[in-house]
Structure 1
Amino acid sequence: MTSKTTLALEAAVAIILDNRPKDGATSTNRQRVNVDRAHTQIMKLIAPRIRHFVRQYGLTYHFEDAEQCCAIAVHRAVEAYDPGKAQFTTFVNWQIRGELQSLRFRVMTDQRPSAKRVEATTISLDAIADANSEKGSFLDTIEDEFALETTESAASDYLAEGAKSSLIDVYVDHLRKVGMEALARRPLPKRQEAALRKELPRLRANGIAAADVEKLEATIAREREIVEGRLFSGASLEQLAAEAGVTAERVRQITKRAAKAIAGIAAADPRFSVMAEVGRPASKQPKARASKASILLAAALPHNRLSHVAAVDQFGLDYQLAAEASAALMQ
């Protein structure tokens, strides 16, 4: 007698088979919805069987991996199922068993014949640690040989990013200062100056309009994006020009001017002295004064304690040696 679960599985698989597109046609939204619902129904009906097989193959501690393998097995079974050869329950059972057997050979090495010969046993790393230990899991005690390099690399990237942001902020402040000074020096139009004098007669009429400040801030924000994208992110001129709404030549001029100004800021500001030294060519690096080594013997050394150092008149010594050589030749 066929069980209700078997009949329900057969009906769900039949829905999937009926909603497959014919002759390579593209499936419709309705067909995809019906297939997804049928797959969900199959996984719900077959869940108790999956749990049974996972326990049978000793994969309880790897249940998530086993569940994924079973889902793959069910999908393969649905794709390859032929109703004329066998029931779906029988066919899917063999698919699930095969996937779980493969998983067991991958995660439980003691099931292999070579491991059985040496009586190898697979145990959890957590089982090595003492249950009453204050150190926690054994995995926490395993040393990562690349931990130092990874930490130093992350710290270096973090510091470099912070230094870059600080340098850009200083450059933006420089642009803002120069822009505000230029606006302050610029004379107001006559009509605007007359209106301002009429409204505020006691104040000077060379104030900065709010619209001009907003325009300046917009220009600074655009140049900041261009400088960050070109100098620090490697974006192309065409890409930045399209994003900023300017020409590629204008982007080149902005980045050229910014690079020169940033280099000057890095060289003058003590906070960026390290960056200035790194970026300086080797020919312009300050050369350390070479210390002159003494030609005299080190009197503190044991083998020089009996030595005696006396000043020698090199001219007198040369004259004496020459006189001795002449006398020897005349003899």
Structure 2
Amino acid sequence: MSKITAALEAAVAVVLENTPAEGSQTARQRANVDRAFASILKLIAPRIRHFIRQYGLTAHWDDAEQCCAIAAHRAIQAYDPEKAQFTTFVNWQIRGELQSLRFRLMTDQRPSAKKVEATTVSLNALATGADGEELSPEALIEDEDALGRTESAASDYLAEGAVESLIDVYVANLRKVGIQQLRRRPRSRTEPRPVAEGPRLRVATHGIDPEELEKLDAKLARDREIIARRLFDTGTLDDVSNDTGVTKERVRQITKRATKALTELAASDPRFAVMADYAAAPARRRPAPAPAETRAPLLPDAGQPHNRLARVTAVQPSALATAATAATETVEAAGRIALHASETRH
């Protein structure tokens, strides 16, 4: 290890020792850090001059020196003696800062870029804020509504699970009552005692006609669909009546009875304590379409920073006429097919 390398390691150790991870620095610690940092800049000054000349930034010497000071500060923050010496960290940081400065100040000087007349543009220079400051690419693509949408989706998922559980408990109670009514019906002594395939909802089904039990389950499944669509979905009265084959009046009766029972069940069952303050709402209406000015456009906005460098190629009139002719022929062919299909049906 050379004398300069050893001196750099000692100065960096002083900076790290006087930079507490928690709490604020004392005046003495700040003074020690300033002296050690000045010593670091003095020790790496020869390599700073070398890199500035190597990257062709002699005409912007002051800016380049400021970038190198920033590079030294970042190298101290990222320094890990177990991975490499401090000279390695600071060299790569200086190279990166000077390369970034060169791209911001001048065009790409590489032979491959000159051959195709390419221009390197900083992503931070594509857009500016209200005060004229440069905006980073992360700020341009950041979705400010992502957190809100994620929380809303999670809330909807949990709400749907709670609704499903609440309806399941309600239907289970209806099935228990239905089985008790079926057991009270008189049966002939010669009729065998059927046994269900297995216990369901902890209700014994011995002594019940299997056909009657299947009818009960089918009725409960139909009622469950009616309740879910009318109380917790956007199903209209006409749609539910047509899909389930139940009259509108009967749908109203099932919905009304379920509304009262679900409200009482949510208030009495601790599993649905969060829902206790909300009565089962009537059928929700379909949301109105968004205004035209708030709808997302079909075409990208050419004024956005990430679209400013896009190329637009003019379409020749001859090619446009050919495309229009092809589109017309396609529409006519589709019309003929539709007309033929209509005649075939009639």
Higher helix residue share: 1
Structure number, greater radius of gyration:
1
Please indicate, yes or no, whether the TM-score normalized by the shorter chain is above 0.5.
no
